Amino acid sequence: MTLRQAQGGSGDKYDLAVIGSGPGGYVAAIRGAQLGMKVAVIERAELGGICGNWGCIPTKALLRSAEVLDQLHHLDELGLRADNIGFDFARVIARSRAVAAQQAKGIAFLFKKNKIDHLAGTARLAPPRTLLVDGKEVAAKRVVIATGARPKGLPGISHDGDRVLSYREAMILPERPASLVIIGAGAIGVEFAYFYAALGTKVVIVEALPRLLPVEDEEVSEALTRSFVKRGIEVITGFGVERIDTSPSGVEVIIARQGADRRTLAADRALLAVGVRGNVEDLGLEAIGVKLERGFIVADRTHYRTSVDGIHAIGDVIGPPLLAHKASAEAIACVERIAGVKDVHAVDYTTIPGCTYCRPEVASVGLTERQARESGREVKVGRFPWRASGKARTAGETEGFVKVILDAKHGELLGAHLIGGAATELIGELGLARSGELTADEILGTVHAHPTFAEAIKSAVEDAYGEAIDQ
């Protein structure tokens, strides 16, 4: 089924029109072009979407500044000395914006190189199956919706962009707040907690669930909490937010544990980081009959087809996990299916890693220990603390551990959870092991270089079998 040919339109007929240019959209567009399609990308804002402009990339730039500052404060441990350690907040923010701008430029270049038309404007679908860009019809055989997601509020509480921030404002504040209450301890919440705490802001982080990073393994949450508390971050878990009172000078966040133990947290500002919702509004989805469920577009996880022929959807807008690399993986699978590529690698949702870039870093893939045990399998758990790692000690990064969860019977790697060290880089090896269905034997049989952070992975597997050498 194809979208209707435009009547008197530009005459350009696209094989593929992608709405959104984030890590889902731009990857879909380029893969489509590689496969010989004539592709248009409709983007109403900067190329690169949230990831490139307001998410992954600019926040990592901020965190880099924080991390280096953090290290400078600990130079004496390395026998080094520096005076006048400090920062210029405006320049930290400016660098982050510059890195984001570079990212957007990079995507513009890739579009040009792949002969992809960038249609700046707002896309809308109209019955029966017409694609409009700023009201003008664009003829395309297939549409891929990759409009992503945006921060959501809480019942009765929403962002005001000034005192009650979303991540978007939090990364471009004109000046560093002296105090900040962060509501929500998911990846965004804890990354900003680390960033602002490293710059000296008094940070309180509040999570309604019982622990930081509730989706991660419990031991990881515990270790992160210990580390945060050591850094002077106040961690309050099990408390929900009842109300936020704002004044020109600050906020008062009223929190409570199941309606009791009410407390008031006063701060310069509050960051509301309690999750995101799909960007499904104003696209004309209802009008053409694209089904939604819980605020996300309903799409299958093989062809990423929506309920309307010829209209596909990928990335955050079809629901969790809300991760850039998940969107990119879906983009490739979706477009390859559209193009009829043989042997498309279906996205394996059990091998998608999750990374959080606070210090200590957190990374994981697969099941947590609890999930693995609850699945009814017999499991073996192995751990290796960074303080036992030669490389980690030389680097002075001895917080945290590597934890692996293996199926006791076949040694299948069910899950891996890393905190500290080079967690977000090391998770790649474990993701490869999972997607390649390697077992403990293959990890143990792989000679890991010494001294490296990576050898801790092997050590953790050894530990699972009671064969740890260095522990």
Q: How far is the CB of 373 from another protein (least distance, A)?
A: 20
- Marked catalytic residue, from 73, 74, 345, 450: 450
Nearer to another protein, 242 or 442 (CB): 442
Query: Measured between alpha carbons, how far is 395 from 7 in angstroms, rounded to an integer?
Result: 65
- Both tokens of 121, joined, read 């404007």
Binding site for another protein (CB under 8 A): 343, 345, 409-412, 436-439, 441-442
Nearer to another protein, 94 or 432 (CB): 432
Query: Measured between alpha carbons, how far is 344 from 333 in angstroms, rounded to an integer?
Result: 6
Nearer to another protein, 213 or 413 (CB): 413
Q: How far is the CB of 235 from another protein (least distance, A)?
A: 39
Q: How far is the CB of 343 from another protein (least distance, A)?
A: 6
Nearer to another protein, 157 or 339 (CB): 339
**Does the active-site annotation cover 450?**
yes
Query: Measured between alpha carbons, how far is 375 from 428 in angstroms, rounded to an integer?
Result: 24
Range 202-205, long-range pairs (CB < 8 A, 24+ positions): 202/178, 202/232, 202/234, 202/267, 203/179, 203/232, 203/233, 203/234, 204/179, 204/180, 204/233, 204/234, 204/236, 204/265, 204/267, 205/181, 205/233, 205/234, 205/235, 205/236
Nearer to another protein, 135 or 376 (CB): 376
Q: How far is the CB of 371 from another protein (least distance, A)?
A: 18
Q: How far is the CB of 346 from another protein (least distance, A)?
A: 9
Q: What phi and psi, each to the nearest 5 degrees, are found at residue 158?
A: -140, 170
Parallel, antiparallel, or unpaired: how do β-strands 164-165 and 149-151 relate? unpaired
Query: Measured between alpha carbons, how far is 331 from 150 in angstroms, rounded to an integer?
Result: 19
Name the region of 330 (left: φ>0; alpha: ψ -120 to 50; beta: rest): alpha
Name 118's Cβ contacts closer than 8 Å, sequence gap at least 6. 21, 40, 41, 43, 47, 108, 111
Q: Which residues belong to the active site?
A: 450
